[in-house]
Structure 1
Amino acid sequence: MTLEALLSPRLSLCHLAGSSKKKLLLNIAQAIAEQYPQHDSDTVFNQLIARERLGSTGIGDGVAIPHCRLPGCDRPIGVLCTTEPAVDFDSIDRQPVDLLFTLLVPEDAEQEHLETLAEIAGLFSNSLVRDKLRLAQSSDELYALAIHSAAAA
């Protein structure tokens, strides 16, 4: 699945507020519920937190990819955000996170879930991509940079 199919300008959030992992995930869940009213923000948040309890989704280099399967979800949903300041996410390298890509997938989409996670992780493994996204000054710019970077990869 392409990044353009996963992400929308409205779910590209530049400088998302949140002083902790939980607050960031709550703000992301609320943004999803605003764009997809069929998904309750509490359910999204609880699913994301349940996944975090299994192990941090902080993959290093200031990046986290929170993800979960979501009951009632009929298509993958992505949320890209930058934070300011960076937040402790219990990452494997112990560095705070300032770049997140949240992925929600249907409950039965195991293979697609894994493949999409791998694609996102691959994109964020590129330091030039991470640097460009961190420099975005608006949500529209963040979205455009992400789509352009994914297409060029």
Structure 2
Amino acid sequence: MEIGDLVSRDGIVLRGSVSSKRQALQAVADAAAHVLGHADAAPLMDALMEREALGSTGVGSGVALPHARHRDVDHVFAVLVRLETPIAFDAVDDRPVDILFGLFAPPSDGAGHLRALAAASRALRSPDLQQRLRQADSRDTLHALLVRQIVSTAA
């Protein structure tokens, strides 16, 4: 499983400033609801907040991997939200976050959820990919970078 397979162009959001971790997570939930074709992002937001209450998903270097399982989700998928201005996120390195890779899975797909988390963590640990994601100026460019990540990890 590779991250470029998990994110569609519709699941990529270049977002202006948010002022809190909650607003950043709401942007992730909104993007996921859009991908699913749901008008109400509240159930996804609740699932993200429930997971975040267990511990911050801020993994360091300005990256967060918020994730949740939810009954409205029928397959593992991800969204990418890039913020204009980094926000405090209680990350492991205490650095503010500007790249949020939100991952969603059905409650019954524990193995798929874990494989997707591992793939996202591996890919987003790359300082080169982080820099390129921060410099990208469109959803198409961001998506291409994620898909290109498949090629570079497969080589």
Short-chain TM bin? over 0.9
The answer as to 2:109 corresponding to 1:109 is yes
SS in 2 for 1:59: strand
- Paired residue secondary structure (1:131): helix
Q: Which segment is superposed worse, 5-14 or 57-66?
A: 5-14
CA contact (8 A) 1:17 1:27 kept: no
Cα deviation for residue 24 of structure 1 reads: 1.2
Q: Measure the CA separation in 2 of the matches of 1:34 and 1:130.
A: 24
Supply the AA of the counterpart residue of 1:115. R
C-alpha deviations, 1:48-82, integer Å up to 9, x for none?
A: 01100000000001110000101131101200121
Per the alignment, residue 136 of structure 1 pairs with 136
Taking the aligned partners of 2:80 and 2:151, their CA distance within structure 1 comes to 16
Kept after mapping to 2: 8 A contact 1:14/1:136: no
**Correspondence for 1:25:** 25
> Equivalent pairs: percent with the same residue?
34
Query: What is the letter of the counterpart of residue 41 of structure 2?
Result: S
The farther-off stretch of 138-147 and 54-63 is: 138-147
The 1-side partners of 2:116 and 2:142 are apart by 20
Question: 1:53 matched to which residue of 2?
Answer: 53
Tell me the distance in 2 between the aligned counterparts of 1:10 and 1:144. Answer: 13
After superposing on structure 2, the runs of 4+ consecutive aligned residues of structure 1 that deviate more than 3 Å are none
Partner residue, 1:10 = 10
Whole-Å separation in 1 of the counterparts to 2:129 and 2:25: 23
Deviation, 1:39, is 7.2
Q: Quick check: 23-32 or 53-62, which moved more? A: 23-32
CA displacement, residues 13-44 of structure 1 (integer Å, 9 cap, x when unaligned): 12354221110111221222223134730000
Q: Bigger shift: 23-32 or 101-110?
A: 23-32
- How far, CA to CA, are the matches of 1:4 and 1:113 in structure 2? 15
> Using the alignment, how far apart are the partners of 1:16 and 1:70 within structure 2?
27
SS in 2 for 1:152: helix
* TM-score using structure 1 length: 0.93
Q: Which runs of 5+ in 1 are unaligned?
A: none
**How many residue pairs get matched?**
153
Q: How does 1:61-140 map to 2 (within 5 A)?
A: 61-140=61-140
C-alpha spacing 1:12/1:43, structure 2 compared with 1 (3 Å): same
Distance in 2 of aligned mates of 1:146 and 1:16: 21
Deviation at 1:102, TM superposition (A): 0.3
TM-score, normalisation: structure 2: 0.92
